[in-house]
Chains A and B, each alone.
Chain A
Amino acid sequence: MNTIYKIVKSEKLNIDTFLLTVESEKIAKKSRPGQIVHIKCGNGTEAYLRRPISICSVDREKGTFDLAIQIRGKGTKILSCLKAGDDIDVMGPLGQGFSLYPRHKKIIAVGGGIGIFPLLQLLKDHPAQNKKAILGFRTRSLIILENEFRQSCNELLIATDDGSYGEKGFVTELLKKEVEKELPDMVFICGPTVMMKAGVELLKKHNIPCEVSMEQRMGCGIGACLVCVCKIKKDDDWNYTQICKSGPVFSGDEVIFD
């Protein structure tokens, strides 16, 4: 199975985040919003394991997909040095993406930090008439992909922790206001665990379904090694379930946030 593709473009988005455009008709065509790819970083001597990255957006006509990657350690640092024309070893698309149901007419996508990335293609692909995005950043200088998001939804709300842009505060506070104004049919949340937990609890009170995208240190990326697990409810009990295979997207009400 071929996993080697060409990089079309690498572009700096902010101080520590960059956008890689990769040529792969297979991944562009097959992937669904919320799915991940598993990337080898260099020759594997400096960073042994692959890195799981959410697909940010796809261009199905050109046969390319975009990955927005924050430099967090050795692996992402190696990826940040790649240039147009370089080869990249990518497994995917992997896992289960977001649910796109036509019956959901009004949706809200809520993202915090690097959690905003998988929401872009979700907003582009979702058939809803009314699509709202609530994105959170620490501060103004870190805000990225604002135009792309604005073009992909009906309304974009931005929150910053320090109030340097948009609303001051957390995205979950904005979500609360929006939900109280008008109930959405479905909400998608991706970001830090505390944020997703707060979002799920809020929506539960209003009886609104939601999906969250989980993150964990990953091994094989395909469900065999059982390392990237989270607690998922099953009947009256729960199981550790593989995020790479059964997720990363789960229904908000089935996840147990510790």
Chain B
Amino acid sequence: MNNINLEINIAGIKLKNPVIAASGCFGFGREYSRYFDLNRLGGIAVKGLTKLARKGNPPPRIAETPSGILNSVGLQNPGVKTFIEKEIPFLRSYGIAIIANASGNTIEDYEYMVEILSSADVDGIELNLSCPNVKEGCMSFGSTSNGVFEVVSRVKKKAGKPLIVKLTPNVTDITEIARAAETAGADSVSLINTLLGMAIDAKTKRPILGNVTGGLSGPAVKPIALRMVYQVSKAVKIPIIGMGGISNGTDAVEFLLAGASAVMLGTAGFVNPMAWVETIEGLEKYMIENNVKSVTELIGGLIA
């Protein structure tokens, strides 16, 4: 259509368009496949996986906030082996990139995850060093440059697939963390994971979330996410996948201009199950109206 090219290559992961379903908001794609053709997507980052199945945190696991949500799911998932056996064949029936999101409690867990996923039929691995809802691993590794460097350099040796490191915004300087990931061998970084937050019910004087604290996402976090993508794009050379509050094509364009090569969205789909498709259509419309031939022209195109 109209000769515009939405294709993008993120560190060897080929995407037919730069819109990816964000991890944790899209399960393994089955539910939303009843709402739209998953082939429309550039890719799917699947629900955060761990070595063994995890039950997750006690409910309530969600609290509404002004223009957003807090969640405290806590990586409920069936375990990486079940994912490989039961979910990859389903996802492979679509022509989209499969990005496996991997978490662990220890460096050894992360090594195991990257090794097993490297021999599975996925297109890339998103290393989750940023989940705020689990006690061990994850954000505790992702909050310091040393932690990120150590995990990423160790798992890189086991990685046979492009490695995306998902960064937490709950740090003093996200550019330091991004640099540590790049130096340790990350092929790409994705940001931002959720911002650690809290909601209290004044009536009952209790926290709303069963886990007390949770991760903030949705339109409320977009300005922070944009700023961080912009700063990280100045700090590293590896491609960036931007996310945080994206709900439509214009939002996606803003992230690309800030320096992202692709975007992820998740929370917006809770309100509008067509958010992913509408974001792709909105991006196409923007490109046509602004005479942009290839999406690559937009990346880092901010006039500042």
Contacts and interface: CB of A to CB of B under 8 A. Distances in A.
A110 interface: no
Contacts of A223: 27, 31
B67 A45 contact: yes
A226 B27 CA distance: 8
Contact of B62 (A1, A47, A227, A230): A227
Contacts of B274: 1
A91 B64 CA distance: 19
A227 B60 CA distance: 7
Interface in A202-258: 216-230, 239-240, 245, 258
Contact of B271 (A40, A217, A240): A40
A233 to B, nearest CB: 13
Residue of B27, B63, B71 ringed by the most chain A CB atoms within 10 A: B27
> Which secondary structure dominates chain B's binding surface?
loop
Given A48-B67, A224-B31, A217 B59 contact: yes
A245 B32 CA distance: 12
A5 to B, nearest CB: 16
Contacts of B76: 226, 229, 240
A220 B47 contact: no
Contact of A219 (B62, B66, B67, B219): B62
Interface residues of A, number: 28
A31 B273 CA distance: 20
Given A219-B69, A225-B25, A91 B59 contact: no
Contacts of A44: 271
Contacts of B27: 223-226
| Interface size class, chain B | 35 or more
Nearest to B24: A225
A217 B25 contact: no
A146 to B, nearest CB: 29
Given A222-B32, A224-B31, A91 B273 contact: yes
Given A48-B68, A240-B56, A227 B73 contact: yes
A1 B273 contact: yes
A144 interface: no
Given A48-B218, A219-B71, A219-B270, A227 B61 contact: yes
Contacts of A50: 270-271
Contact of B31 (A220, A229, A258): A220
A49 interface: yes
Nearest to B76: A226
B234 interface: no
Contacts of A222: 31-32, 34-35, 273
B26 interface: yes
Given A217-B59, A219-B69, A226 B36 contact: no
Interface string B265-279: 000011101100000
A228 B59 contact: yes
A48 B55 contact: no
Contacts of B61: 217, 226-229
Interface string A59-97: 000000000000000000000000000000001000000
A240 B210 CA distance: 13
Interface string B198-236: 000000000010000000001100000000000000000
A47 B58 CA distance: 24
Contacts of A220: 25, 31, 269-270, 273
A45 B67 CA distance: 6
26 contacts: A1-B35, A48-B65, A48-B66, A48-B68, A49-B62, A49-B69, A50-B270, A91-B273, A217-B59, A218-B62, A219-B69, A222-B31, A222-B32, A222-B34, A222-B35, A224-B27, A226-B27, A226-B56, A226-B76, A227-B62, A228-B59, A228-B62, A229-B56, A229-B61, A230-B59, A240-B55
Given A217-B59, A225-B270, 20 more contacts: A1-B35, A44-B271, A47-B64, A48-B64, A48-B68, A48-B218, A48-B219, A48-B271, A49-B64, A50-B270, A217-B62, A220-B269, A226-B27, A226-B56, A226-B61, A227-B62, A227-B73, A228-B61, A239-B55, A240-B59
**What are the 10 tightest A-B residue pairs by CB atom distance, in nearest-first order?**
A224-B27, A227-B62, A227-B61, A224-B31, A222-B31, A217-B60, A220-B270, A223-B31, A219-B270, A217-B62
